[in-house]
Amino acid sequence: MPKREAHVALSDGPASDAATLADQLHSAAIHLLRTLRKEDDSSGLSAPRLSALSVVVFGGPLTLGQLARAEQVRPPTMTRIVTGLEKAGLVRRIGDPRDHRLTRIQATAKGQRVLAEGRARRVKLLAESVSALDQAKLAALGRGIQLLNELNAAMRAK
Partner DNA sequence: CCGAGATCGTTAGCAAGGCTAACGATACCT
Partner DNA sequence: AGGTATCGTTAGCCTTGCTAACGATCTCGG
Q: Please state the closest distance from residue 104 (CB atom) to DNA, in A.
A: 7
* CA torsion through residues 86, 116, 105, 36, sign: negative
Q: 77 to 96, contacts with DNA by CB under 7 A?
A: 77-84, 93
Cβ–Cβ < 8 Å for 67, 107 = no
H helices present in 1-158, as ranges: 18-37, 47-59, 64-70, 75-87, 109-131, 135-157
Q: Does residue 25 interact with its own copies by CB under 8 A?
A: yes
Which one of residues 44, 99, 104, 132 is an interface residue with its own copies (CB under 8 A)? 132
List the end-to-end C-alpha distance of the chain, in Å, as a whole number.
29
CA dist 156 and 133 (Å) reads 31
Q: 93 to 112, contacts with DNA by CB under 7 A?
A: 93, 98-103
Judged by CB under 8 A, the stretch of 5-13, 86-94, 101-109 that binds its own copies is: 5-13
Which one of residues 41, 89, 113, 140 is an interface residue with its own copies (CB under 8 A)? 140
List interacting residues with DNA (CB under 7 A): 1-2, 46-49, 63-65, 68, 72-84, 93, 98-103
